[in-house]
Structure 1
Amino acid sequence: MYIFDKWGLKVWTVLNIVLLFLSINFKVSEVHAETKRNQTTEATSNLSNVNQKIDTKVANSTSSYSATTSKPKQSNVTSSNSKVLSQSSSKISSSSTAKGISGDSSQSNGKTAKNKTATQTTKVKRFSASDITPKHRPTGDPVILFGIWLTSGFSLQPVSDSYEPIYNTVSPLFVDTGLDWLSWLADGGLLASAKYTWYQSDDGGYSWTKFSTDAVPNITSNLPQDMSYQVKVVWTSFLNPFSTTLWSKVSTVHWIPTPKNPTSIRAYVDYPYLMNNLPDKQVDTTHAQVVASPASSTNKSIEWSSSNPDVATVDPLAGKVSAVNGATGTTTISCLWTNYDGSTLSASADVRVGGGLDDQTVHSGLSATFKLLGRITSDAGAESDTSIVWHRIAPDGKDTVVQTSDSGSYTLKSTTMNDNKAKYYAVITIKSGDKTKQVTTNKALLTVIPKPVDIQMDNHVFNITNPDKHNANNTELTGVQVGNHIQYKDTLKNLSTDTASDGDIIYETKINEGDKLNGITLDGLPLEKDEDYTLEDKGGYQLIKFTQGMSISADSSRTIKVDLQVGDEAKTQKQFDFYPSIQYSGQTNRGLIEHIKYASGTVSLKAKDIDFGVQNGLIAKKVYDRTASTNAPNATVDITDNRVEKDPISLTVTQTNPFQNEQGQNENNLLLRLYKQGEATTLIPGEAYNVADFKQGDTAKSVVWDKADGLRLYTDSANVSPGKYHSNLMWTIKNGY
């Protein structure tokens, strides 16, 4: 006992000496640190003074052109500097930050350590994600196919950036990992366990230290700083001597002086559909996550909940959502965000749980597509040899293979009522090495609804008297004359292959005012006026309307023909526009608009006045040209030929009287000549001269003369006295040449 006390005293003495030595060194270090900080402050103050001088120059420069907004005579440098900072760039305003450092340093003397920490906030070095060097290269993201893990990895990485207030102990570093299914089997499946080792760095990854082996470590900081974290996860079991090691991505926690409430939050899940039928009793999972705005927001706690835990459960802290095997349905995963001041925000996202396929409902004749749901990562095909076999179970129970490929969907291109109540499912076979795993989806039901009545109208108009005058799709007639026989032909087709109309189709169309209706037929059978249809004068047109509804069988058509004769009143209109229409099942369908363009059956002309301009004396034996208004490309005579039968015609011109001056006296030395291809014919007043001939079948065209052709002015044997001279021309179109 005495010996123990003696040695205990010696140990106690040595420990006190060591503690004294450490205390002295600590104080010396503190003095050096304080001295260094004061030197920094002094240097910063000097820099502030330099900036103030620069800013004063800026302020004086500003006053030179804006005297009304500044005080050039003011000598207070601080005031001038303050004013310029509110207007200048962020680089100049950094002098204000330097002043803040100086002021905080002076206040830190004699204050608590907490105030010293506040002084150092301006010296915090922040790190972006690209600045941080991880302790170890992160493991690649896992490859997952329909809930089957093909490679190991992190299904939930730690949040890349988060913000936490100092002096608070928090646990924001949630991760989740999984093994590829071969390693999972080798490690004993459910017997495998994960061991965590967390590392931290406060210098952007230059150096790392181990600090925790908890799955979710608690962290805290008394200083505003950026601290980076990375975790190593080792999967082991007593059945497998080899372990699987995974490294997370780096997470950086930005420690800030005070909490900051978000203005809004948004919740989402990584994968909104979970499989309920994985082999080997594996459970399909996803993770709910929340994003706050702004990104620098803090929270005291986040709590997750599931509205339907019989479909999927959720870890209240980590947000891990797990499907319930065999369950089918939708659950809402909600997030309750609690701020440090006690206020809360909430957000939610839906998660579906099922067997991988949805039931489909389509109308007959349309396509039906069954698409595999669940998680499929982009490189899943490269990591495995996967085949997908699609099966069809007919309504009578017969099971047949309809597609074998690696496609994640199957499409039945054109459904019929025979496909109603058929079921479809897929068998996914995943091979990795010499191991095989299968996932069989649920049997999705196909419901085919009979296609409703759908009437399409195909309408045309024809001129039976003159069948050549129409456009390509027979919706426009031209050159229609009085007495022509016109026919409408409208075909109504029921596009539904399953459903017949119930006799409610009412047909309407129009004919022009003054036209005579000869009759209407339906599928070649004549209809009776007033009994089957009505004809009502609407002022400007006549309305034809069926009095009884028609029926059209499924996938069948009916044809309506309207025969009429063009009446005299149509000659007063240039064009009649109309379209047929039908009403059925509360809707109206109309056909294409149709046009009937009328022609008078005659040829007409309009001649322009000819002017030879003002001349500086009319010299004998000289030819004078027309002005540009009656030279090409301008027409001298406009001709409109609306004839249906193009018989030969000719155009002549007659000078009705000699040129006369303003006093009515004849000037016989002024003559008109008609030039054709260089040959000239002198016009004798009162006689007709041929200008153009139009052959059988040709449309008469307007007269367009070049400068050297047509009518030109000629002076005969003597000069003509100054003055104005005029004459009259008569242009005539006649049959024959």
Structure 2
Amino acid sequence: MIQQPTLEKQVRNLTKGETAYTDYTDAEAGDELEFKFTVANSKVNGIGNTWQDVSIKDALPEGLLAEDGSQTIKIPVGDVGVDGTVTKTVKVRVDKNEDTTLINTAEATGSNYYVSPVTLPSNDVRVNVKKTEFTKPVKLTMTDQIVDETYPDSHNATQTEVDDVAGGDKIDYTITVANTAAQSKFTGGKLTFDVPKDATINSLVVNDMPIPAGWYENKATANGQQIGITDIDLISGDTLDIKVNLTLPKKVTFDRYTTTPKIVGNDTDQSAYTATGDPLTMVVADETISFTPQDINFGAHPTLQAGMVLDRTAETTAPNAVVKISDERRTKTPVSITVKAVEPFREIDNSTAHLPAHLLFYHGSAADAVTQGVEIAKTTDGQSLTDVVWQQNEGLRLHVDGSTNQPGEYRTQLEWQVNMGY
């Protein structure tokens, strides 16, 4: 017996749900098959030492295609020690629709295997292809998703809309088209979708195979740039997976951008067929803080005595907000809020009449005068600014400086300030 390692090749039909590997299988056009290669360096019949730098090459017969669309499979194996075994698997697709048997043999080579033959062949594997008669109408399903790679937490539940988009963000589109109808054949298809004007396509991958820029269409439209992928054929069970990565221009010219992927082509009977996916939407980040102070009322009092402290009425006491805030910033830098009384309390019908009282800001056991401005709230990096809500014994309260029973309605003016990056 010749002292040599062995290469065994087996196959199973994944589309038909086969789990065991054998040296033959039955298949139809479009079926996904899986080859298993087993390299063994038997202690009894092997080369007697480590088989080094082993690789497998499998030249597929016409009618079988590798996952990258080629007809040649190359698999690095590495070193196979004495009594060692290495197993590798690859997927291929049946690309021929006729009654035929596809037969092929793989080969393995290593850097230190010198016993004839230098190239080690495997056993034959047979794929018995049965012609499929395409007589049923096509049924294409499309599912689409969009993700902001730069700011990944801004999408909705179905990942069809991303909020808080900004110039320079990297955006991912994923578009999947599947022909789910048995005995059907979609041919001559063209899939189109739009990307914003001046966006840069970083990569476009179809079924895990990168597509160079010159191999797909890119033309200017009213909605930006229309990307087109042509010559699409999908027989029963076929799936088309498209992944697009793009970079938005530094200055975006839209507030809201939507594209709906669409595929057009021919049904089994050559009539026109169209399918559309889910609208994919980008919404530009608002980057604003909405800040709405409420009027503060200290109520009606028949008389005021020096030393009294007046509380706010219920309208600006918890749970009601003194300042209503909506923080729409994407990047939450630290922010502080200050407030200052810009004038004394004046009688609204007689500006020369002053109320002997001043505002204090109560926080914990301290109380600070508001006449020079006082900080009432602040955030840390990454924290949103929220409504200003005070309990009854905290926040702004009115301290009476002198007794009075002079009737009238007295007002002051407050100046609120939001300080970015304190």
Tell me if both proteins adopt one fold, taking TM over 0.5 as the criterion: yes
Deviations 1:595-633 (A, max 9, x none): 323223343422222222333233332222223322233
Aligned to 1:490: 175
Deviation at 1:502, TM superposition (A): 1.9
Q: Which moved more, 1:464-473 or 1:553-562?
A: 553-562
Greater share of strand: 2
Match of 1:693 in 2: 378
Look up the equivalent residue of 1:636 and give its one-letter code.
Answer: V
- d(CA) in 1 for partners of 2:276, 2:185: 20
User: Which runs of structure 2 are paired with 1:24-43 in the superposition (5 Å)?
Assistant: none
Q: 1:528 to 1:664 in 2, by over 3 A?
A: farther
After superposition, where does 1:611-630 map in structure 2 within 5 Å?
611-630=297-316
The aligned amino acid for 2:325 is I
| Per-residue deviation, residues 400-454 of structure 1 (Å, max 9, x unmatched) | xxxxxxxxxxxxxxxxx99xxxxxxxxxxxxxxxxxxxxxxxxxxxx98655443
> Mind listing any 5+ residue stretches in structure 2 that lack a counterpart?
1-28, 31-96, 99-131, 267-271
Percentage of identical aligned residues: 27
Q: Which amino acid aligns with 2:191?
A: Y
Distance (Å, rounded) in 1 between the aligned partners of 2:165 and 2:353: 49
603 and 693 in structure 1: CA distance in 2 versus 1, 3 angstrom threshold: same
Correspondent of 2:233 among 546, 551, 565: 551
Cross-structure match for 2:396: 711
Q: Any gaps of 5 or more consecutive residues in structure 1? A: 1-363, 366-416, 419-446
Displacement of 1:561 after TM fit? 1.7
Alignment partner of 1:603 is 2:289: yes
Structure 1 residues 560-613: Cα deviation after superposition (integer angstroms, max 9, x where no partner): 526240564556x3x444432222332332212333232233434222222223
Question: Is 1:669 the equivalent of 2:350?
Answer: no
Tell me the secondary structure at the aligned position of residue 550 of structure 1.
strand
> Following superposition of structure 1 onto structure 2, how do residues 725-736 of structure 1 map, counting pairs within 5 Å?
725-736=410-421
Alpha-carbon distance in structure 1 between the residues aligned to 2:304 and 2:402: 11
The structure with higher relative contact order (CA 8 Å, sep 6+) is: 2
Residues 1:542 and 2:224 aligned together: yes
Question: Is the 2:187–2:265 Cα contact (8 Å) retained in structure 1?
Answer: no
Does the CA contact (< 8 Å) of 2:192 and 2:263 recur in 1?
Answer: yes
SS at match of 1:691: strand
What TM-score do the two structures reach when normalised by structure 1? 0.35
Q: Is the 8 A contact 1:570 1:598 kept in 2?
A: no
- 1:629 is paired with a residue whose SS is helix
CA displacement, residues 189-215 of structure 1 (integer Å, 9 cap, x when unaligned) = xxxxxxxxxxxxxxxxxxxxxxxxxxx
- Structure 1: how far apart are the matches of 2:421 and 2:229? 54
| Equivalent position of 1:563 in the other structure | 246
2:194 paired residue number:
510
Change (3 A) 1:544 1:566: same
Q: Which residue identity is paired with 2:316?
A: T
Give the number of aligned pairs: 285
Segment drifting more, 448-457 vs 610-619: 448-457
Question: CA 1:615–1:511 in structure 2 vs 1: closer, same or farther (change >3 Å)?
Answer: farther
Cα offset, 1:642, TM superposition? 2.3
RMSD, matched Cα: 3.4
Distance 1:668 1:658 in 2: 8
Distance 1:570 1:704 in 2: 38
Partner of 1:582: 263
Q: Partner residue of 1:640?
A: 326
TM-score (norm 2): 0.58
Give the AA of the match of 1:633. Answer: P
Task: Look at both structures and tell me which one has the larger radius of gyration over its CA atoms.
Answer: 1
Sort the Cα spacing of 1:520 and 1:635 in 2 relative to 1 into closer, same or farther, 3 A.
Answer: same
Return the alpha-carbon distance in structure 2 between the equivalents of residues 654 and 725 of structure 1.
Answer: 17
The equivalent of 1:130 in structure 2 is: none
Shift of the alpha carbon at 1:690? 1.6
Q: Secondary structure at the match of 2:315?
A: helix
**Contact kept? 1:463, 1:485, Cα under 8 Å:** yes
Matched ranges for 1:421-500 at <5 A = 450-496=135-181, 498-500=183-185
Q: Report the AA paired with residue 559 of structure 1.
A: I
**What is the distance in 2 between the residues matched to 1:468 and 1:494?**
32
Contact 1:611–1:626 (Cα < 8 Å) also in 2: yes
SS at match of 1:721: coil
Deviation per residue, 1:155-202 (Å, 9 max, x gap): xxxxxxxxxxxxxxxxxxxxxxxxxxxxxxxxxxxxxxxxxxxxxxxx
Distance change (3 Å), C-alpha of 1:532 and 1:598: closer
Q: After TM superposition, list the pairs within 5 Å mapping 1:242-641 onto structure 2.
A: 450-496=135-181, 498-503=183-188, 505-511=189-195, 516-518=199-201, 521-523=204-206, 524-528=210-214, 532-537=217-222, 541-542=223-224, 544=226, 546=228, 548-552=230-234, 554=236, 555-561=238-244, 563-565=246-248, 568=251, 570=253, 573=255, 575-585=256-266, 586-641=272-327
Gap change, CA 1:590 and 1:665, over 3 Å in 2:
same
Alignment of 1:96-135 (within 5 A): none
| Structure 1 equivalent of residue 73 of structure 2 | none
Cα–Cα, structure 1 residues 458 and 672, in superposed 2: closer, same or farther, change >3 Å? same
Indicate conservation of the 8 Å contact 2:200/2:249, yes or no: no
> Residue 723 of structure 1: SS of its match in structure 2?
coil
